[in-house]
Structure 1
Amino acid sequence: MIEIVETGPLNTVQDMGRPGYRNIGVTACGAMDPLALEIGNILLGNPEGAAVIEVQTFPFRLLFTKRGAFAVTGADCRAKLDGVALAPWWAGEAEPGQVLELFPPLRDARAYVSLSGGVDVAPVMGSRSTSLRGSFGGLGGRVLAVGDSIATGAVQPAAVPKGGFGAVPPAVALKDVFPVGENGELVIRALPAGEHDLFGADAERFWSQPWKISARSDRTGYRLSGDPIHPVEVVEMRSHGVVPGVIQVPPAGEPIVQMSDANTAGGYPKIAGIIEADLWRMGQARIGSTLRFVPATHAEAKGIEKALATYVDDIRQTARLVGKALAAMA
């Protein structure tokens, strides 16, 4: 059990989302950085996809009212437990009365607080994720507020050793797989989408120019600022299904990247789709940051997914070994 001591707007309960309902207009929601959520749960020995707290406005503080293990992943938010600094991507154990503090990260956008047993709120349509647009899921479909008490699910045998342990952040462990562009630009791999060729010469400008994430961005979509691109002729399109990662171009010519709370359907032409292995990086991109899109092949996308899966499996095996060692000592 924890209590929220300090929070800001947009901090919510999230899990891996609620797939399977897009046909009736229900967005999947879920963590903007699903990789950080997955690793946090692995470090604690939680069930796959257990709900966590997604923090995107800082500072954030929570009080442990009972003893319990926790993990902080995602953005390096200079976390502290009772004033003692914690390493990034770290799992530890807190005693009753201790306070976990997260501060504004120097890079990236979102941190994830995983709790042993997972955040225990009532599932809606098979998920505990908060849908702010629909006002359901999480804690009554709303953002977290000071004074909220949050319960955890059934706690597994302790999987965190005294002093804690952690994982090497993916940006470090996989720096050759997820490169950073010149001047710190985010490099995002994508595949040409259905209406790519309708943009003629502007399609090339989509790939060659830098784009800035506009302040008019949220969990539904990132609006990108840059030199507008337009199809060679006006195209009337029926609404069609869209998913996170799809890049649409409205009449104004500035692309929109569909994110975790992506619309279920839309009629804007699609110029590209971000490969799934790069979506977590988009989820960590901050408003005002600059990115470039790089065309990828299906083979390249599969290779990146394989490297990412190997990284996750290595952490899972390490966490299992730690859990076995603790069980043998009990």
Structure 2
Amino acid sequence: MTIHVQKPGLLTTLQDSGRYGYQQYGVIVSGAMDRFAHKTANLLVGNEETEASLEITIIGPALYFETPALISICGSDLSPKIDGMPVPLWRPVYIKAGATVQFGSSREGCRCYLAVSGGIDVPRQMNSYSTYLRAGLGGFQGRALKENDRLSIKPITKLGAKMMERLGGNARDAAFGSVSWRVSFELMPAYEANPEIRVIPGAQYPLFDPASLENLFATEFKVQPQSDRMGYRLAGKPIHMREPKEMLSEPVTFGTVQVPPDGNLIVLMADRQTTGGYPKVAQVISADLPLLAQAQIGSSIRFRLVDLREAQEAYLMTELNLNFLKKSIQMHFI
């Protein structure tokens, strides 16, 4: 079972939930930028949430399926089509052998995730399938996909086989078949072009001057072209400490908001380093990381301060929604 990469797209890599347990050795976590979309795509094809998916950025690939498969595409709308017909997002899709999935440019957001039932057959490295491009680690040969790559698909899951059998009947004479339902908007993050991002205070929050903290929550910040999977650089009113302070490097994580000497914010993302020496004014809550991951270059971002309890409740709600989705799919197809 093979997928032939006819066009690689702008940046298409294999990602999973991340490479944990090795940060003490300087190995970064990496993983999917929008983990809600990544996990949901896997659940919709009967995979475990930890299976690898293709993270597709801004301009997508053309993928020729040499055998039938069960796929799902979640995240931003990159205008996917199968043999010229629009593909519905956020639902399982049966694709016939000989059909091609093609992506256009982004209609909204900047990343989508394509999962295949069974998963892409690549070796785990340090207990993860995730690609870390700078180190050539993980994924498909440690790099982004290239033209004429061939991706092997692992055996389909039992749940995936049942889904595929049922959806195959919906295809009839078309190149693919799907279902009439999709993941409810009520279960999804509140994706939007210019998101409001909730944060809790960072470790050095009290050391920033009051005027800067007021600007942090009262003004907008724009995502700059220098942004990538390692971090988003934001332009807006500079944020300054009460007085300059030398700091030792400290642990950082996905969503840490750092303030370098020029006062322009950097939000660390999936490929962030393991430690950082810039003061940390805030930390994006886990539930809002998908919103940040889908922000395009030029998007405006506003921050809203919340307490730890709201952050924890939002995280638990996200996990409950994913669990509800998983159970619902199992009940529907078993």
TM-score, length basis structure 1: 0.92
Corresponding letter in the other structure for 1:194: A
Is contact 2:82-2:100 (8 Å) kept?
Answer: yes
Distance change (3 Å), C-alpha of 1:34 and 1:166: farther
Q: Which of 216, 229, 240 does residue 230 from structure 1 map onto?
A: 240
- Report the more deviating stretch, 4-13 or 141-150: 4-13
Q: Which of 168, 172, 190 does residue 178 from structure 1 map onto?
A: 190
State how 1:32-47 maps to structure 2 within 5 Å.
32-47=33-48
Q: Which of 188, 196, 202 does residue 187 from structure 1 map onto?
A: 196
State how 1:202-241 maps to structure 2 within 5 Å.
202-241=212-251
- SS of structure 2 residue aligned to 1:72: strand
Residue 178 of structure 2 corresponds to which residue in structure 1?
164
Return the offset for 1:280: 1.2
- SS of structure 1 residue aligned to 2:21: coil
- Report the more deviating stretch, 103-112 or 82-91: 82-91
Distance change (3 Å), C-alpha of 1:78 and 1:169: farther
Aligned residues between the structures: 319
Gaps of 5+ in 1: 325-330
Return the offset for 1:48: 2.6
Is contact 1:189-1:296 (8 Å) kept?
Answer: yes
Cα distance in 2, alignment partners of residues 282 and 167 from structure 1: 27
Cα distance in 2, alignment partners of residues 166 and 312 from structure 1: 20
- SS of structure 2 residue aligned to 1:2: strand
Return the offset for 1:93: 1.2
State how 1:1-330 maps to structure 2 within 5 Å.
1-157=2-158, 158=161, 159-160=163-164, 161-162=166-167, 163-165=177-179, 168=182, 172-174=185-187, 178=190, 185-201=194-210, 202-324=212-334
Cα distance in 1, alignment partners of residues 322 and 196 from structure 2: 21
Corresponding letter in the other structure for 1:165: V
Is contact 1:11-1:57 (8 Å) kept?
Answer: no
Cα distance in 1, alignment partners of residues 88 and 99 from structure 2: 17
- Report the more deviating stretch, 74-83 or 108-117: 74-83
Residue 327 of structure 1 corresponds to which residue in structure 2?
none
- SS of structure 2 residue aligned to 1:111: strand
- SS of structure 2 residue aligned to 1:133: helix
Corresponding letter in the other structure for 2:17: M
Return the offset for 1:78: 2.3
Cα distance in 1, alignment partners of residues 322 and 180 from structure 2: 13
Is contact 2:194-2:295 (8 Å) kept?
Answer: no
Is contact 1:12-1:143 (8 Å) kept?
Answer: yes
Distance change (3 Å), C-alpha of 1:275 and 1:166: farther
Cα distance in 1, alignment partners of residues 251 and 141 from structure 2: 28
Is contact 2:65-2:98 (8 Å) kept?
Answer: yes
Gaps of 5+ in 2: 168-176
Cα distance in 2, alignment partners of residues 266 and 179 from structure 1: 29
Cα distance in 1, alignment partners of residues 205 and 149 from structure 2: 47
Is contact 1:7-1:57 (8 Å) kept?
Answer: no
Return the offset for 1:73: 0.6
Cα distance in 1, alignment partners of residues 267 and 313 from structure 2: 23
Is contact 1:167-1:315 (8 Å) kept?
Answer: no
Cα distance in 1, alignment partners of residues 78 and 181 from structure 2: 15
Q: Percent identity?
A: 34
Is contact 2:9-2:62 (8 Å) kept?
Answer: no
Is contact 1:43-1:166 (8 Å) kept?
Answer: no
Cα distance in 2, alignment partners of residues 178 and 9 from structure 1: 26
Distance change (3 Å), C-alpha of 1:193 and 1:206: same
Deviations 1:198-256 (A, max 9, x none): 11121221111100001010000000001111112110001111111110000111010
Cα distance in 2, alignment partners of residues 213 and 169 from structure 1: 29
Is contact 1:7-1:58 (8 Å) kept?
Answer: no
Return the offset for 1:259: 0.3
Is contact 2:40-2:49 (8 Å) kept?
Answer: no
Cα distance in 2, alignment partners of residues 223 and 38 from structure 1: 26
Cα distance in 2, alignment partners of residues 30 and 316 from structure 1: 21
Corresponding letter in the other structure for 2:240: H
- SS of structure 1 residue aligned to 2:37: helix
- SS of structure 2 residue aligned to 1:307: helix
